[in-house]
Amino acid sequence: MDSDATASDARIIAASRDDAQVFAVIFERHFDAVFSYVGRRVGSEVADEIAAETFLAAFRSRQRYDTSRPIARPWLLGIATNMLRHHHRTEVRRLRAYSRIGRPESSTGEFEWADARLDAARARPRLLAAIADLSRDERDVLLLLAWADLSYDEIAQALEIPIGTVRSRLHRARARMRELLNANGQYPLAAVDAVREVLNSDG
């Protein structure tokens, strides 16, 4: 096998089936990304626990990993997303609480947006409230796109659904958010970059 630094995730996982300790490389490569995604959704208080559970579940299911996929991040984020379903109410409460107080104070960068302009700051509470009003399926695909930076194909891999289903869920999520954000004719023209891309791109 190639050195740990150059081997693909798929080769590392395949090797870990015979040598379990090799799987530590996957943990080292992807823990930060999983932790960041989970932390944004449910908070840093439980992110460590969920991220650890994600890698434990991944380790236990490594025999079933599709080694034609060289990068394991979508697979890991899919497992994390499934774990988050047990924390659905926590996530919704968190989003609604932040929608009332505006930008949350956090040392981990939760809900930190690239665009700090005033209109984006004003839009943030309504944006978070709109995300909270989405169905779980719609919120999952939206946030895997916006916060985990997965492609449509990677989201399909992560959630084990057809790419057409990804597109339809994103379409519904965007339409619902436009409806909620336009409720008073105040949809911001200069929204935060990451979320503007989700809302306005055609996919």
Are 12 and 49 within one domain?
Answer: yes
| Mean of per-residue pLDDT scores for the chain | 80
Which of 87, 102, 125 is the endpoint of a domain? 87
Q: Of 156, 175, 148, which Cα lies nearest the Cα of 73? A: 148
Which range among 87-91, 164-168, 188-192 shows the weakest confidence by mean pLDDT?
188-192
Return the pLDDT at 128. Answer: 78
Return the pLDDT at 98. Answer: 67
Are 83 and 155 within one domain?
Answer: no
The pLDDT-based confidence of 108 (bands split at 50, 70, 90) is very low
On whether residue 164 sits in a domain, the answer given is yes
Return the pLDDT at 115. Answer: 42
Return the pLDDT at 4. Answer: 63
On whether residue 13 sits in a domain, the answer given is yes
Q: Which are the contacts of 102, defined by CB distance < 8 A and separation ≥ 6?
A: 121, 124, 125
Over pLDDT 70: what percentage of the chain?
Answer: 74
Return the pLDDT at 138. Answer: 93
Return the pLDDT at 132. Answer: 86
Domain of 178, in residue numbers: 113-203
Are 48 and 121 within one domain?
Answer: no
Q: Is the pTM of this model over 0.85?
A: no
d(CA 96, CA 19): 45
On whether residue 100 sits in a domain, the answer given is no
Q: What is the pLDDT of residues 123-154, one digit of tens each?
A: 667 777 888 889 999 999 999 998 899 999 99
pLDDT average, residue stretch 87-105:
70
d(CA 109, CA 112): 5
Structurally, the chain folds into a number of domains equal to 2
Which of 47, 72, 87 is the endpoint of a domain? 87
Secondary structure tally for the chain: helices H, strands E: 10, 0
Q: Which are the contacts of 140, defined by CB distance < 8 A and separation ≥ 6?
A: 81, 84, 159, 169
pLDDT of residue 175 exceeding 60, the answer is: yes
State the burial class of residue 150 (Cβ atoms within 10 Å of its Cβ: 0-12, 13-18, 19+): buried
What CATH number is given to the structural domain containing 169? Answer: 1.10.10.10
Q: Which of 36-40, 73-77, 177-181 has the highest mean pLDDT?
A: 73-77
Over pLDDT 90: what percentage of the chain?
Answer: 50
